[in-house]
Structure 1
Amino acid sequence: VGKMSATVLYFHTINIAHRSTPAVLFWQWINQSFNAVVNYTNRSGDAPITVNQLGTAYVCATTGAVITALGLNSLTKHVTPLIGRFVPFAAVAAANCINIPFMRQRELKHGIPVFDDHGKRLGESEKAAQQAIGQVIVSRIGMAAPGMGRPQFNHFPPQNIHYYIRCTCILIIPSLSSIAVTRLEPSLQEHIRENGNDIQTVYFNKGL
């Protein structure tokens, strides 16, 4: 709920902030720092991470996201005003594609736990981590769409917060997700078969 509320309020601010480079730099840094914390605390799996690794991930995530936002913002000088109004949304979407994988890179390297339908842990999968992070990126971009896309049209009142929240709730992919066993790493597939588990689908927590 806190993430949704902060996102809704930020969308109105960032649409104004993108009018000047210093404002873009400041607000994108604030937003991406906040997102970095949210992405880390809502990650999936239990792979350990050191302070140095966390610091490096934060710097890469926020720097990459801010640079992307600044680069896209510069395009407003070369496109029509209507298209330029959607640049903030494109910047936020692109920034999420950078911020989330960096803050959850340990999952991509070490995998996340996968379970059977009884909750028994079967192992860790990098393939499941890739799917989880991809789903989170899609849901975050979906969250941005109502707040940064529709207000560009005068007939839609920007104060309609309830509309944003409803759309956000619809667009968020459930925390529990699944993946076919045949899509897992061969070694993990073999491990599952060796333990007598004749299952076709495993489940994992994708994070938020």
Structure 2
Amino acid sequence: MTDSVTTFNIDAPRWEQNTFIGRLKHFFNITDPRTLLVSEHELDSAKALVESCRAGTVPPGTSEEQLFYAKKLYDSAFHPDSGEKMNLIGRMSFQVPGGMAITGGMLQFYRTVPAVVFWQWVNQSFNACVNYTNRNAASPITVKQIGVAYFTATTTALATAVGLNLYTKRAPTLVARWVPFAAVAAANCVNIPLMRQQELINGVTVTDENDNVLGTSRRSAIKGITQVVISRIAIAAPGMIVLPIIMERLEKYPFIKKIHVLHAPLQTILVGGFLVFMVPIGCALFPQRSKIAVSHLEPDLRDSIVAKHGDKVSYAYFNKGL
């Protein structure tokens, strides 16, 4: 075991997080769908190795590459706050296989109201599971609040999808194909803020550059949640906007018309191709450790920071969440 492994900081990002490319590499790593195939035993072993490294007792013969891989598995399967193993469906690494199946269904079965209702309900149930699994453990949410968020987001998605579906009956086919995206975007604007309402009510913890706690800020919570909403919509946008254009063109060819039964699997595979790239890209749009100028914080918190630190602290930092 080398000295570098002995002093290895397992929680330090492998790539620079102040650049988009660095964040992109990081999220390609932890959203890798292949981690879903790793056994429970291997995941538990990875967690044990990560915890050993944090305690400064790395097993002899362990290489840095083994530590990096253990951290990759740990980040993909265990909650960053509680350390508890997350359910498989709620993991970010499940976003590609789960998202491609559901989005493929929404894009293929958009013509009838019952199909629209079913697929929007499935999508919002999936989103609720992801949001709950990746919730901020420092801002607990009650079962009632989870239920309200789920019901409201599902209702919003259904109202948008069914309303636009009926409204676009006489519109060009391509316009109707874009209805599922409008519903998904609208639901994200409702679901995420409601699921993280405790952060909006009580604020999130903000620190200085050296992780010294400065207080709690609702304005920081608003900024973080807004960034997450934008990221989620960005993840869905290319597949749900560009793919309908592709399918519209393909369906004009006679041989494509003859294999109508294969349209749904084809769209699902194509959506998967988009999501493989868009999940990490969407997550990487904004730094995980976000910052806000002290001058933009609530007056009482700003005054408290200035009184204690003078002009030495220009920015406050916080975890925006996923």
Q: Give the alignment's TM-score, normalised by structure 2.
A: 0.59
Which region of structure 1 is more displaced relative to structure 2, 111-120 or 172-181?
Answer: 172-181
Aligned CA-pair RMSD: 2.1
Which region of structure 1 is more displaced relative to structure 2, 26-35 or 191-200?
Answer: 191-200
Residue type matched to 2:301 in 1? L
Residue equivalent to 2:83: none
Aligned-pair distance for 1:10? 1.8
Aligned-pair distance for 1:102? 1.4
2:193 paired with 1:94: no
2:116 paired with 1:3: no
Asked if structure 2 preserves the Cα contact closer than 8 Å seen for 1:111 and 1:129, the reply is yes
Aligned-pair distance for 1:132? 0.9
Superposed CA deviations along residues 48-106 of structure 1, whole A, max 9, x for unmatched, are 33333332333223223322222222232142222222111111111111111111111
CA distance in 2, matches of 1:70, 1:108: 30
Residue 6 of structure 1 aligns to a residue whose secondary structure is helix
How many residues are paired up? 208
Superposed CA deviations along residues 110-151 of structure 1, whole A, max 9, x for unmatched, are 111111111112111110111111111111111101221221
Residue type matched to 1:190 in 2? D
Asked if structure 2 preserves the Cα contact closer than 8 Å seen for 1:8 and 1:147, the reply is no
1:200 to 1:145, Cα distance in 2 relative to 1, 3 A: same
Aligned-pair distance for 1:17? 2.4
Asked if structure 2 preserves the Cα contact closer than 8 Å seen for 1:69 and 1:91, the reply is yes
Q: More relative contact order in 1 or in 2 (CA 8 Å, sep 6+)?
A: 1
Asked if structure 2 preserves the Cα contact closer than 8 Å seen for 1:113 and 1:125, the reply is yes
Residue type matched to 1:113 in 2? T
Residue type matched to 1:60 in 2? T
Identity of aligned residues (%): 46
Asked if structure 2 preserves the Cα contact closer than 8 Å seen for 1:96 and 1:140, the reply is yes
1:10 to 1:54, Cα distance in 2 relative to 1, 3 A: closer
Residue 195 of structure 1 aligns to a residue whose secondary structure is helix
5+ residue gaps, structure 2: 1-92, 251-265
Residue type matched to 1:187 in 2? D
Residue type matched to 1:205 in 2? N
> For the pair shown, which has the larger CA radius of gyration, 1 or 2?
2
**Residue 136 of structure 1 is aligned with which of 204, 228, 231?**
228
Aligned-pair distance for 1:35? 0.8
Residue equivalent to 2:157: 65
Which region of structure 1 is more displaced relative to structure 2, 3-12 or 28-37?
Answer: 3-12
Alignment of 1:104-123 (within 5 A): 104-123=196-215
Residue 216 of structure 2 aligns to a residue whose secondary structure is strand
